[in-house]
Amino acid sequence: MGLAFLIMALLLTGCESSPEPQKFSGHIMGTTYNVTVVMKPEKEKIAALAEGMHQVLVDVDRKMSTYKPDSELSRFNKLLAGEALIVSADTGLVVQKALELSSDSDGAFDPTVGPLVNLWGFGPDLRPDRQPDEKALSEAFERVGYQAVSSRILGDGRYQLNKSKDIYLDLSAIAKGYGVDKVADYLMQQGYTAFLVEVGGEIRVNGLKPGNSRWRIAIEKPVSDGQVVQSVIGITDISVATSGSYRNYFEEDGQRFSHTIDPETGRPVTHKLASVTVLHEDCALADALATTLMVMGPEKGMAYARKNKLAVYMLVKSDNEFRVDQTQVFSDLVQMQ
């Protein structure tokens, strides 16, 4: 959906006498990435490690970008209704995760909602100067519906994707998290067990940071001006993703319209949930679940989180402040700093 996942990707190290970790950064998927590796590689291996991580992300972007006309996702979107495309194991797996969550959430997560997002001006198209009319909404709805996409795994590990109608598949609400997972897997394959990987605000931490303490991650207070820390959590061996509705919006006649589109109504959400943070062992799912809960809102979203034993931290608008609501699973996983 192109949502902005608004966790402050800050490594809060404090004053420690441990050796400096090795840090890497770059640009990919229309955003930035940052990696911190605690066990500093030998000097002659640093460049190769940096290139290896970058190529992992380039490969994910090459397969799943909607901006690259030759990506697997773009080629699938060009298919006519009733046609199929064989895609890589990576793309197929991410689509499968997205479809399973779509079904489990009764459509609160829908990777085909792109036409509605674009209609409201939160996609790559120019933002309209007024709300779309009912005719435009109806036409956009015709191209939405995750049920029109199906997948099956083939004997060689690749997937066959089918579409039963003219829909537009967009994995932007899950692909960055998957990129984090892939970089984490790559680092572990190279023998590194303590690190932080961040891509566009989606984070994975493994092991302990320098000084043998938990990684400290700041969750941003959901205000539109500046960056203010709401909470700092200490975590290890987990992924974290945050979704919020407080920066990407437009206003018309004094009414604010969020970039978070409800696939059921085709309109921006209007509830009081300002941001939601999810911890999960799978960063792709943390990424997608944050979007899902943001669509559901505070009551329905928290009920879903508790039913599914998810680690969730919500900031809900209450008068002029924010009320914190979190699951017991979240409390058990973190150290509040």
Q: Which residues are annotated as a binding site for Mg(2+)?
A: 173, 287, 291
Known binding-site residues equal: 173, 287, 291
187 phi and psi, to 5 degrees?
Answer: -60, -40
User: Mapped to the 3 state alphabet, what secondary structure does 271-300 carry?
Assistant: CCEEEEEEEECCHHHHHHHHHHHHHHCHHH
Q: What is the largest CA-CA distance in the chain?
A: 63
Encoding tokens for residue 291?
Answer: 């979007």
Helix (H) or strand (E) holding 54: helix 43-64
- The DSSP annotation for 76-108 comes to HHTSPTT-EEEE-HHHHHHHHHHHHHHHHTTTS
Rounded CA-CA distance 293/289 in Å is 6
**Inter-residue contact 304 to 273 (CB < 8 Å):** no
Q: Is 19 left (phi over 0), alpha (psi -120 to 50) or beta?
A: beta
Neighbouring-strand partners of residue 307: none
Q: How many helices (H) and strands (E) does the chain have?
A: 9, 18
Q: 71: Cβ–Cβ under 8 A, 6 or more apart, which residues?
A: 61, 62, 63, 64, 65
Rounded CA-CA distance 50/283 in Å is 21
Q: 48: Cβ–Cβ under 8 A, 6 or more apart, which residues?
A: none
Pairing of strands 273-280, 311-318: antiparallel
Encoding tokens for residue 163?
Answer: 């579409």
Tell me 18's DSSP state. S
